[in-house]
Structures are given as structure tokens and as C-alpha cells.
Structure 1
Amino acid sequence: MPEVIRVPFRRIAFGNREEIRQPGAIKAALAELISTLIFVFAGEGSGMAYSKLTGGAPSTPAGLISAALAYGLGLFVGVSVSANISGGHVNPAVTIGAFLGGNITLFRGLLYIIGQLVGSIIACLLLKVSTGGMKTSALSLAHGVSVWDAFILEIVMTFGLVYTVYATAIDPKKGDVGTIAPIAIGLIVAANILAGGAFDGASMNPAVSFGPAVVSWTWTNHWVYWAGPIVGAVIAAAVYEIFFIDHSHEAVPAADY
């Protein structure tokens, strides 16, 4: 029997503009907005709280650990509360990865990304207002870290995140592993922050970078926090689609993932 050569991204679905008006798609986008708001508020807020407690001192190992815990736990909750509505992407890179695998249409994905970005902005505005005008800090590169270093870091870290999403949430064969998807996704983000947070902030998520950048109006090297996660998501989706996913099983409907 001849070997079957798998072609990645063969299941891409673009959908149509009418999806934007469908109540289900709008509800899903709203769920993404709220989940991202919860996630960014917890993560960004932990950094602001640490800065206040230390008088604005530079990041320390304790600060890195607190950020990892806040973002990891915040993402665990964010994914969990929207999983049954939108699939709990909470990240434009995850949405792009899901789209490339044919698990969400282009138009529905765009709604998700808009919701995620707006949720991040609202979270940062709420933090600024509720902390007496404290500045939300845009992600930045540490001293001695070049934009290309950060670009590679973001690719690798986002690859791990989106690969985890594929293995625990998207793969039709996931079985009972799907029940731990929010935990696994939160843990990989926390672990990556411990690994890369001291170098470039460890975004892995354009929405995490976008909200603070808008509210503080700081755009230095901002492109890294979009390009790196998107490339990492594309590679992760391609690897999983080519080598591991089996579409002979029942696929996850786009409206469910």
C-alpha cells in the first residue's frame, strides 16, 4: 500500500461574512473578550502589584515566579470559563493555529482575535483606573537581548503552547486528556515565563502585548510580540497536522473547539 503523504492545512475553511452576524459567533467572541480580560488583568496586575510592593525595583526571581503563577492561573481560569462557548483560545496565536488546522473559519477567527485584543485593552484600562493611574508596562527586551533573540524565543515558547493546545484540546483522539487541557495550557505558559520572562517578558500571545502597549502607548519592538507567536503557532500547527493528527476520527467541530 503506498504511503500517504499528509499535506498540512488542507482543511482550512474561510467561511463567509454572514458568520459575523450569527448570535453564536458573537457570543463566542464576547466569551473570548471576557476570558482575555480576566487573564490579562491577573497577569498584568501581578506585575503592577509587585512593582508597588518593591517601590518600582527591577524584576527579581520572586517577581518572575509571581508573574508565572499569575499568568498561568489566570489562563487556566480564562480557558476553563470559555471552553464550552468559544473553545477558550484566549490568544490570537492559538486562534491562528486552530484556523490553519480547519478547526475554526477565518471570519469566526477574526471575531475571536478582535475580542481578545479588546479584552486586553479593557483589562489594562481597568488596572490603570483602579490603581490610581499606575502605568501598565509594555513588554520590553532585557539588556543584551536583541530583537532576533526575542523573535526566536517567542517562536519556541509559542510553539510549545500551541502544540500543547493541539495535543490536549484539538486532537480528535485526545479522549480524557481533554479534561486537563486548561491545566496543561496554563502550566506551559507558566513554565515558559520562568524560562523566557527575564529575557523578553515571554508573551506567547499578541493580546498580552497589545493591551499594555495601547494603554501606555509604547511600541518599541512591538512587532516581535506578533511575529514570533504567529510563526510559532504556524510551525506547531504544521507539525501536529503532518505527524500526529488523524482525521479519520471524528473531527472537533469549529463551533465547539
Structure 2
Amino acid sequence: MPPIHRQLIDRVAIGRYQDEVTHPSAIKQFVAEFISVLIFVFAGQGSGMAYNKITEGGATTPSGLVSAAIAHGLGLFVGVAVSANISGGHVNPAVTFGAFVGGNITLLRAIFYIIAQCLGSVVACLLLAFSTGGLTTSGFSLTAGLSVWNAFVFEIVMTFGLVYTVYATAIDPKKGDVGTIAPLAIGLIVGANILAGGPFTGAAMNPAVALGPSLVSWDWGNHWIYWAGPLIGGGLAGAIYELVFVNRSHEPLATDF
């Protein structure tokens, strides 16, 4: 049996530009990811802005945390469901990176997925800022007393759980009927993680979700955490699930799930 690093390298595929970027089916997948992230971020970020509007910027309450978890969970459920049959319903650069590490999407297509996802988040936040009359899109931030390394680990663990759920319910070729509940399971784990991590890091679990409000409000405090943490967590989940539970050697395309 080849060493683990060799198994992972064997799964990685760069892809041909004509097939992975300019092919009509690839373009449809990029558009699907853009729209799905736009839907998700508009609902999730919009719920936070609505809460701030209602409470006039008051402190977060337990009911506000539950509302945020429900809004993000439902928004992601829809975002995944509407693009699952087109792009696989990644809706998250960390999911795309995890799929790449496991050999389920080529490097070129993964890069353009991530670009589309980031654009979807930015456009959603711009639309929110305009349609609310200029209200601020809230960037993610750490709670008082929490170190950057505490938050870093928090984002790694939460995103690991998310991407592991994606693998188990959507990517695993043996998923069977479980695949029908993939959007619901993915939405639920995000909602649960927000209840656990929301008061500490904001529970991004998604670099694109963090990028949109940070760019529009120009608030970059500790922004690196919301890229490094989710990408590491997603990559670990993809590598572990693929090596331990799937254990195949292939070069599949993004449409494999």
C-alpha cells in the first residue's frame, strides 16, 4: 500500500483549461455556484442586518443567535439544493478545497468555483447595502477575551464537521438514499455550529461568507482566520474521509457528486 502522501498526490488532477474552465458545462457550474452563494449570503447576512435594525444595534440575545442559526441553515439548505444537480452544491470554498484534496474536482475547476463563490458573496452584500438604504454589512469578529489561535482552532473544527458531513451525505459513492437528505444535513450542521461558535468567532466556516461583508464594509480585522481555518478544516475532512472511508484512486470531475 503506498504511503498516505502518495495516495493523496495520486488523487490530485490539474485538468485541461478547455474542459475545466471554458466548456459550457463548466461555465454553468460556475454560474450555479455564484447564484447559490448569493442566495445563501443574502439570507444569512440579511438576517443579521435585520436583527441589528430591530434591536437598534443592541447586544446579541439567545433568540438572536437562534434566529441567525435558522436563517443560515435554511439559506444553505436552499443554496445546496438548487445547485446540487449542476455544480454539486459546494457553496463554500472550504468544501471545494476539501473536494479537491480528495480528488473529486480538478484544480482548475476548483479555482474558478472559488472565484464564483467569492463574487456571489460580494454581490449579495452589495445588494444588501443598497436595498437597506446603506446599512452596514457586518464583518466577522472575535468575542472579547478570545485569542486568534482559539478562534483559528474553532473555525478548523467547525469546518471539519461541515465538510465531513458533505462527504458523507453528498460525495461518498456509497451514500445511497442518504444523498437525498444532503442539503438538509449540510444546512443543519451549519446551524448547529453557529449555535456553538457564533458567540465566539461568528462561525463563518466559509471564506466567501467572510469575504463579502469584509470587503463591502472594509473591515479586515483578523480576516485571515476565516480563510486559513476553514481551508485547513475542509482539507483535513476531505483527506481523512477519502483515505479512510472511500479509498479510491481516480480523477473525477466536479459533476461526480
- TM-score, scaled relative to structure 1: 0.95
- 1:73 alignment counterpart: 74
2:101 counterpart letter in structure 1: L
Determine the C-alpha separation between the residues in 2 that align with 1:57 and 1:10. 52
SS at match of 1:8: helix
**Corresponding position of 1:205:** 206
1:252 offset after TM fit, Å? 6.5
Instruction: Specify the code of the residue in structure 1 equivalent to 2:190.
Output: V
Q: How many residues align?
A: 254
Superposed CA RMSD:
1.6
Identity among equivalent positions (%) equals: 66
**8-17 or 83-92, larger mean C-alpha shift:** 8-17
The aligned residue for residue 230 of structure 1 is 231
Aligned-pair CA distance for 1:242 = 2.0
> 1:117 aligned to 2:121?
no
4+ runs of 1 displaced by more than 6 Å? none
**Contact between 1:9 and 1:238, CA under 8 Å: does it hold in 2?**
no
Q: Say whether the 8 Å CA contact 1:26–1:111 is kept in structure 2.
A: no
Inter-partner Cα distance in structure 2 for 1:173 and 1:5: 24
1:60-139 matched pairs, under 5 angstroms: 60-139=61-140
- Greater displacement, 53-62 / 13-22: 13-22
- Over 3 Å counting, the alpha-carbon distance change for 1:245 and 1:256 in structure 2 is closer
Segments of structure 1 that go 5 or more residues without pairing to the other structure are none
- Contact 2:87/2:254 (<8 A) preserved: no
- Measure, in 2, the Cα distance between the counterparts of 1:179 and 1:9: 31
Deviation string 1:189-228 (CA, Å, 9 cap, x unpaired) is 0000000000010000001100000000110100000000
Contact 2:157 2:233 (8 Å CA) reproduced: yes
Q: Which amino acid aligns with 1:94?
A: V
Q: Which runs of no fewer than 5 residues in structure 2 stay unpaired?
A: none
CA distance in 2, matches of 1:143, 1:125: 28
Cα deviation per residue 1:123-148 (whole Å; 9 max; x = unaligned)? 00010011010000000001011110
State the Cα distance separating 1:10 from its structure 2 match.
2.6
Paired residue type of 2:13: A
TM, length-normalised to structure 2: 0.95
1:9-24 aligned within 5 A? 9-18=9-18, 19-24=20-25
**CA deviation digits over 1:103-136, x for unaligned, max 9?**
1111111111011000000000010011010000
Shift of 1:255: 2.2
Q: Does 1:216 align with 2:217?
A: yes
What's the offset of the Cα at 1:16? 2.1
Taking structure 1 as reference, are residues 66 and 93 closer, same or farther at Cα in structure 2, changes over 3 Å only? Answer: same
Letter in 2 for 1:237: G
Name the counterpart of 1:166: 167
Deviation at 1:246?
Answer: 4.2
Render the CA deviation track for 1:156-183: whole Å, top value 9, x for unaligned: 0000000001101111110111111000
